[in-house]
Amino acid sequence: MKNIIFPKPLLKGAKIAIISPAGAVQKTAVEPTLKLIESNGYEAVFGKHTFEKYEHGYNYAGTEKERISDLNWALNAPEISAIWATRGGYGCMHLLEKLDLKEFKKNPKWYIGYSDNTVIHSYLLKKGFASINGQTLKTSSFGVSDESYSDIFKILKGKLPTYKTTENKFNKKGIADGEIVGGNFALIYALLGTKFSFNFKDKILFIEEIGENFYALDRMMMSLELAGVFKKIKGLIIGGMINMGDEKDNKNYENSFDEMAYQIISERVSKYSFPTLFGFPNGHIFENRPLIIGANIRLKVGKSNEIKYL
């Protein structure tokens, strides 16, 4: 297994590129987080098209050419120390075949985002670089906890958090060490069979989802089953499952871990022996604690549950 490269911790005054690789966003929607960047001692630098809007069956943050231009600038500009996506939505898959890491390889930097940004994490990992599956600059309608952002800044400063979670009736006990992969389930599913898909062998898989019908969730599970993914992984972590089924307009975070969604997942992996942790606070939910994609972790599931970076 090749060693995954972690970007260097950020120094005070470091510049963080703010880009929109997918959906359109207004600057007012990210201003609170921009203030957090400044209060942590960093400078936000915007791509040329960060706040563009291009309507083409969806409100994108610019054309494909404009969005890839911003992303490649952020990846390769020597003055940039990290990259933070404003939001997800849809559009990151458009960019995968046009990504340029020529200068990035000489000066790796953290890429931060989740949801649609899952495909960027997969791309970077295949090239040997870790990235942060964490809250975008734009918060959800039900808000985001302070810790969801503060944990990201800890990682940027070189500190790796350890997470402990409460018991869940769907958990399957066990201990596993492995590299964590994954993110939004729909994007993991969409990449299956492509050259950009995660490598699942001996990995610990993380999944989260929002707004899917239960049959669609089961279809995703069946797709991974038929692709042999569950025979390859060493552990499974399930995060937020929100607005699932008929719950399409949940404005709070009380139902962040939909029970029917969890039951469907639990049933589909019941024949496997790997440890399975339900209820991890990451996803389209109020508690969206960052996970480092590509990091080696120890997953403990039992009377106490823990995710620890190794």
115 belongs to the catalytic site: yes
CA distance 20 to 187: 17
Query: Cβ of 264: how many Cβ atoms within 10 Å?
Result: 18
Q: Which of 20, 81, 115, 197 is catalytic?
A: 115
284 belongs to the catalytic site: yes
Contact 262, 278 (CB under 8 A): yes
Q: Which of 179, 208, 209, 212 is catalytic?
A: 208
Say which residues have a Cβ less than 8 Å from residue 17's Cβ, sequence separation at least 6.
45, 46, 47, 73, 74, 77, 80, 82, 83, 84
In angstroms, the Cα distances linking 97 to 68, 91, 119 are 10, 13, 11
Q: In what order do the strands lie in the sheet with 15-19?
A: 43-46, 15-19, 80-85, 110-113, 131-133, 291-293
304 belongs to the catalytic site: no
Phi, psi of 207 (to 5 degrees): -135, 145
Q: Which residues are catalytic?
A: 115, 208, 284
